[in-house]
Each structure stands twice: as structure tokens, then as C-alpha cells.
Structure 1
Amino acid sequence: MVTEDVTLVLDFLNTVDLARGTDLLDDPVAWNDWLARRGLTPGAEHPREIRATLRAAAGDPTAGVAPVSAPVTVAVIDGRPRVVAADVAGAVLASASRLVVLGRWDRLKICPARDCRWAFYDRSRNHSRTWCSMRVCGNREKARGWRERARTAATLRG
């Protein structure tokens, strides 16, 4: 269940792609396709506010926070209690809640690169992963930092 919860929450958080300048919620056809592939319905809730609030909770300093909620029910299915949601808002918030209860929410992170902000799951043993990709964002940010330090040192030398 944890894998499915992580996948759903990450997929939802990454419906906005800063690097490409796209937002799935701006394209009704793409959004409905996204929902259909996951067997979800749009519902009456506000997905933008839910996404922004969850992104802020995962560490996105640019995301706004709004009070969000969605109706869910608890049902016994195949002999096991399950949280059941009627729409995408309930499904995503239920998955996020399960991650919190299981102590896994802190592994959801937002890439700190200003031109990325991709949500990712930190699978490192000590929860220390910072970048969505060390080869792309991490390397670029470290090179940027090195250039800034080198520029400052050159200015101080004269």
C-alpha cells in the first residue's frame, strides 16, 4: 500500500512542472486522462489548493497553504479496513494521511532547485537526499554555488 500511496501523491504533486512551464490542471483533456488512468473522478473539491497545500507540507517554499479537506469513508473490503475516497481529492489526502501515520511523509521532498521544484521520495537510508536528481539539479546547483564562491573570492582578492 505504501508504494501506491507514494506514487499517487508524487504523481499528483508533479502535475505542475516548473521546468516545462506546464500544469496539467490547465488542460482539461490531460487532467481527465490523468484521472482516468488512475481510476479517479474529479469530484467537487479544489485540486489546485490541495496540491499547493501538500506541496507546501512537503517543503515547497513557493506553494501557498489553504485549509483543505475531502470526504472519505472507512469500509471493510476483503476483510480489511480501508479508507475509501470518492474522488481525487479524497484519494490523494487519504494516501498522504497513510504516509503520515506510517512515518513516511518526511521522505516526500521538493527539489530545492529554483527552476525545478519536482516532488520526489527520499529512499536514502538516512533521509538525507536533497535533489530530485544529483546528475541534473544537484550538479547544476553545486556548480552554480562554486561559481558564486569563486566570483566572491576573486572580488575579495582585488
Structure 2
Amino acid sequence: MHTDASLVVEFLNTVNVEEGTDLLEDPGQWREWAAAHALAANQAGEARAARDALRAAIGDPRLPGGRVDVGTRISLTADGPTLVADDVVGAVFAACTRLVVRGDWIRLKICPADTCLWAFYDESRNRSRTWCSMRVCGNREKARGWRARAAAG
């Protein structure tokens, strides 16, 4: 997975619906997560608003979405212009912008399984992957559908 996609997916998955955990609820863990990515931790409320808006934008049905404005800057380096941010939210939005420019934004998806809702990056050739994992969520949903059809028939 590309570095930008990895950062975005990891940030989106700081909430785990299946386990009922949210890394942003623990200030120590949130600071550790940011430090592990060599970034400054935003205030939890700001990070949560950004995460929820991004998750809604890529398909999380639980969230209403909304507008989020993020400050970044453009720096001219030896490799050319680049988006720069010092904090997590800015870096994630800069990574999202690069994904949009490359045409890879549509590869960011949310697993449709109600008990999962895990964010993932679709690396399939035709961008048609639906489930975060066919072995887990996809298989579970297909089995559930088969049982429902068998009971109805």
C-alpha cells in the first residue's frame, strides 16, 4: 500500500467499531500514535471531527459528514512543490489530496459489514473490492445471505 494511503487508513481506523474502542479517547495513546508517525497530535475533538468527516466521505453510513477546513502549506523542495503539515490532521488531509491528484481517492473504502466498518485501501485492479477481508467479513455476509435465502425458500 502506498505511504499516503497507509497513513489515511491507519488514521481512519483509530476507531474500531467491532471492539467498541476509540484511540482518541485515550490522550496517552493518541500522543503515542502521533509520535509514531513523527507528527504532532491535534486536540482529540479536532482529530475526531476530521476522522468522522473523512470516514463519511468514503462511505461510513453512521456518520453525517460535513465540511472540515485544514491548514497545510506548500513548500518548494529539490523534488518540487509538496504539501507540508506538522500535525496529524494536516498530514492526513495532505495525503488525501495527493491520493485525489493521483486518482486513488476512490480506492479508500469502508467495509459495509455493520459490525466492522473498517477502512481499507482497495488494491484490486478494477477497484471493485467490497469487503475489508473476503475471508472474514465477505464470507460472513455471504453465509448470512445464503441462510436467509435458504430459510425463505
Matched, 1:51 2:43: no
Question: Matches of residues 1-158 of structure 1 in structure 2 within 5 Å?
Answer: 3-43=2-42, 46-153=46-153
Please list the CA deviations of residues 61-96 of structure 1 after superposition, one character each: whole Å capped at 9, or x if unmatched: 112312101111101123421111121111111111
**Given that residues 49 and 65 in structure 1 are in contact (C-alpha distance below 8 angstroms), is that contact kept between their aligned partners in structure 2?**
no
The alignment partner of 1:46 has SS state of helix
In structure 1, how many angstroms separate the alpha carbons of the residues matched to 2:138 and 2:121? 15
What RMSD over aligned residues (CA atoms) do the two structures have, in Å? 1.4
Please list the CA deviations of residues 27-65 of structure 1 after superposition, one character each: whole Å capped at 9, or x if unmatched: 111111100000111235711111111111111111231
Give runs of ≥4 in structure 1 deviating > 4 Å: none
Q: Rg bigger for which structure?
A: 1
Percentage identity across paired residues of the two chains:
54
Q: Which consecutive unaligned segments of at least 5 residues does structure 2 have?
A: none
**Given that residues 43 and 88 in structure 1 are in contact (C-alpha distance below 8 angstroms), is that contact kept between their aligned partners in structure 2?**
yes
In structure 2, how many angstroms separate the alpha carbons of the residues matched to 1:41 and 1:10? 18
In structure 2, how many angstroms separate the alpha carbons of the residues matched to 1:79 and 1:124? 30
Q: Which consecutive unaligned segments of at least 5 residues does structure 1 have?
A: 154-158
Paired residues in the alignment total 152
**Given that residues 35 and 41 in structure 2 are in contact (C-alpha distance below 8 angstroms), is that contact kept between their aligned partners in structure 1?**
no
> What's the CA shift for 1:114?
0.4
In structure 2, how many angstroms separate the alpha carbons of the residues matched to 1:92 and 1:35? 11
In structure 2, how many angstroms separate the alpha carbons of the residues matched to 1:50 and 1:140? 31
Q: TM-score, normalised by structure 1?
A: 0.91
**Given that residues 43 and 89 in structure 1 are in contact (C-alpha distance below 8 angstroms), is that contact kept between their aligned partners in structure 2?**
yes
In structure 1, how many angstroms separate the alpha carbons of the residues matched to 2:135 and 2:42? 38
> What's the CA shift for 1:5?
0.6
User: Partner amino acid for 2:46?
Assistant: H
In structure 2, how many angstroms separate the alpha carbons of the residues matched to 1:137 and 1:112? 9
